[in-house]
Homo-oligomer: A and B are copies of this chain.
Amino acid sequence: MEDCLKLIFDRQSIRKFQNRDIPDDVLLKVLSAGNAAPTAGNLQARDFIIVKERETKKLVAEAAMNQKFIADAPVVIVVCANYPRSMRVYGEKGKLYAEQDATAAIENILIAACAVGLGATWVGAFYESKISAILEIPEFSKPVAIIPVGYPAEDPEKKSRYPVEELIHWEKW
């Protein structure tokens, strides 16, 4: 199980990809891992849009502050919070739960991608309304992350983090 910790600690954001397709079964495994993430009341209030078409990827990249590397990934996964799926049970609090369901899935997708030899990046900077328009996301849902995925063509330096002790409070804040 040490391998899993190593993977968590060593995982890097990958923004350069080989010109190589991802087999659908590999992609589905990664997305299944995403949906294996915890979810409030097992409601799984998250949806995944898989974009492979070149023109659509270019539009998505433009709507994401023109981060062109997004269009160069063989696959772009857009993770959406599906609000009514959670709010019909939890009311207003279901809004946060849907976003957490989606976000937990994102993290699993990133780890699982790495585990199967893929690279990926969590892109959070984008115009929600533009992405929704391009991908025809209904009003009841919202894109919460864009994840370009592919076989890595770079091995970037590991980003440093604060020593975790600086973020920890013992017993009380």
**A residues bordering B, Cβ < 8 Å?**
1-5, 7-9, 11, 13, 28-29, 31-38, 40, 42, 44, 46-53, 56, 80, 93, 96-97, 99-100, 103-104, 106-108, 110-112, 114-117, 122, 124-125, 135-138, 141, 144-145, 159, 161-162, 164-165, 167-173
- Between A and B, 23 residue pairs with Cβ closer than 8 Å are A1-B3, A1-B116, A1-B117, A2-B115, A4-B4, A5-B116, A9-B36, A13-B38, A28-B168, A35-B164, A44-B161, A47-B167, A48-B168, A49-B168, A49-B170, A50-B170, A50-B171, A96-B124, A96-B144, A104-B107, A108-B111, A135-B169, A135-B172
Complex CA–CA separation, A3 to B111 (angstroms): 12
The count of identical subunits is 2
CB distance from A13 to the nearest CB of B (A): 7
- Are the C-beta atoms of A124 and B97 separated by less than 8 Å? yes
- Are the C-beta atoms of A49 and B162 separated by less than 8 Å? no
